[in-house]
Structure 1
Amino acid sequence: MAPGLWVTFEGGDGVGKTTQAALLQQWLEQSGRAVVRTREPGGSEVGQLIRDIVLHHRGDIAPRAEALLYAADRAHHVQTVVRPALARGDVVIQDRYLDSSVAYQGAGRVLDAAEVRGLSLWAAEGALPDVTVLLDLEPRAARARLDAADKPFDRLEAEKEDFHRRVREAFLALAAAEPARFFVVDASRSAEDLAQAIRSRVAERL
């Protein structure tokens, strides 16, 4: 049985993570690999309940409570979805993981990034992806994409520009600290150019 591979997609809202995850899934399945496509929050039945709270609750949520909710989703998701898939030899393609918590709750909500990361690692029993694709885009360009989509914003998408700038800077700092795991790509490139670059990086690990 071929070993499993865990690929996560990170970046700000509107950078194209969903599109690239779908293109990677299509390519892998055409190559004969079994793929599990998932996300955080919301990659399990329990996680979907948490997703509804953290992204769509109309009232305020205390920043530390928000971080704990994401960690709770992560603990359940890794144990019930990610680890079993990797054990089967599947490729897991995941939209967001702990790096999003460090960026959004650590930098965006101005909590202690090291504490947020430590909480997530504890929740996931230290599990880290094989490849993390960071789609990097200037926040104003990302917001323009969201506006063009003409859909209601969730709680995080609706935050102001300075919030999203802190998030972007945090993602880039995480990538600089772990260059072996992160693959940073310019999300202003065409979808097909990005997909080809991502395939090449993933192929190196298969």
Structure 2
Amino acid sequence: MSTPHQSSPTLSTDIKRLKQGWLIVFEGIDGSGKTTQIELLYDRLCRDGYDVIQRKEPTDGPWGQKIRRLFSHGREGISREMELSWFLNDRRDHVTHYIRPALDRHQIVLIDRYYFSTMAYQGALGLDTRAIQAQNEAFAPIPDLMLLLQIPPENSLRLVRQRSAPNQFEKPDYLKQVAAVFDHMQFPYLRRIDATQTIDLVHRHIWQAVDPLLRRLEDSAS
């Protein structure tokens, strides 16, 4: 996965100043194309003159590195409660040092995974998803738009098996449970995107969800 962009590249000399920050989150099971689509949206927003940053979770911070070791080495006796605490600590640092400062600067923030992934992946282990949501929303800003890229778990597993080093979170039964938790999520800011389509068509549907938000931002800034 590429290193997240800290700020917009100089693609437009006319930066659009907004009266508030905007948080857009990309979610979905492994192999749904989040990384590709967040890059496409980031590039398009920059070309259109928006002040935008791109981030990912888990982060590259100390807690995120502990989580990434779980991906490659397995849980190795780490309890589900301790694992959840690592995600919460990583996200708390992320919110404090990156997300809230960017929103306070009235930037558009794009995040590859957020607390909905924690709800889905830890919920699939049997933890209470509502409790996880409440723990996160005690400190993490609620997104303005959540883009849920959906593919069948079978498609995800097929893509996962093509990787040279699949991670320990990508087991067939577990991934199906994760997908089921995502499928049951209902939020007013959630937009479901059929990610089985071509990359260009998925990006078009994402833009159709993002564009009305941008129009509202521009109207509020005028």
Query: With structure 1 as the length reference, what TM-score do the two structures score?
Result: 0.89
Quote how far apart the aligned CAs of 1:126 are: 4.7
Q: CA deviation at 1:47?
A: 4.4
Say yes or no: does 1:164 pair with 2:175. Answer: yes
Which of 150, 154, 176 lines up with 2:167 in the alignment?
Answer: 154
Aligned-partner residue type, residue 21 of structure 1: I
> Aligned match of 1:49 in 58, 65, 68?
65
Distance 1:140 1:61 in 2: 28
Give the 3-state SS of the residue equivalent to 2:184 in structure 1.
helix
Instruction: Tell me how far 1:5 sits from its aligned partner.
Output: 1.3
Is 1:50–1:73's contact at 8 Å kept on the other side of the alignment?
no
Aligned partner of 2:35 in structure 1 is 18
Return the alpha-carbon distance in structure 2 between the equivalents of residues 135 and 151 of structure 1.
23
- Could you tell me which residue of structure 2 aligns to residue 81 of structure 1? 98
Which residue pairs with 1:182 in the alignment?
190
Percent identity, aligned pairs only? Answer: 28
What letter corresponds to residue 56 of structure 1 in structure 2? S
Distance 1:47 1:37, change over 3 A: farther
Alignment match of 1:195 (pick from 194, 200, 203): 203
- The one-letter amino acid paired with 1:167 is V
Q: Residue type of the partner of 1:139?
A: P
Alignment of 1:51-70 (within 5 A): 51-58=67-74, 59-70=76-87
Which amino acid counterpart does residue 192 of structure 1 have in structure 2? D
Larger relative helix fraction: 1
Q: Residues 70, 48 of structure 1: CA spacing in aligned structure 2 closer, same or farther, 3 A cutoff?
A: closer
Residue segments in structure 1 that go unaligned for 5+ positions in a row: none
Alpha-carbon separation, structure 1, partners of 2:212 and 2:178: 29
Tell me if 1:119 matches 2:132. no
Is there any run of 5+ residues in structure 2 with no aligned partner, and where? 1-16, 215-222
Query: In terms of Rg, which structure is larger?
Result: 2
Q: Does 2:154 align with 1:140?
A: yes
Residue deviations 1:169-192 (CA, integer Å, cap 9, x gap)? 111111xx21x2111011101110
Aligned amino acid, residue 152 of structure 2 = E
* Residue equivalent to 2:219: none
Pair 1:154–1:5, CA change in 2 (3 A): same
CA distance 1:163–1:52, change in 2 (3 Å):
closer
Output the CA distance in 1 between the equivalents of 2:198 and 2:121: 26
Give the match for residue 95 of structure 1.
Answer: 112
Q: In the comparison of the two structures, how many residue pairs are matched? A: 196
Which whole-Å deviations, capped at 9, do the CAs of 1:125-178 have from their partners, x for residues lacking one? 251111000011110111112223x33012212x2x22111111111111xx21
Give the distance between the partners of 1:112 and 1:51, measured in 2 at CA. Answer: 20
Measured in 1, the distance between the counterparts of 2:198 and 2:154 equals 18
Distance 2:29 2:212 in 1: 26
1:21, distance to aligned residue in structure 2 (A): 0.5
| Residue aligned with 1:80, SS | helix
Q: 1:151 to 1:99 in 2, by over 3 A?
A: same
Q: 1:99 Cα shift?
A: 0.7
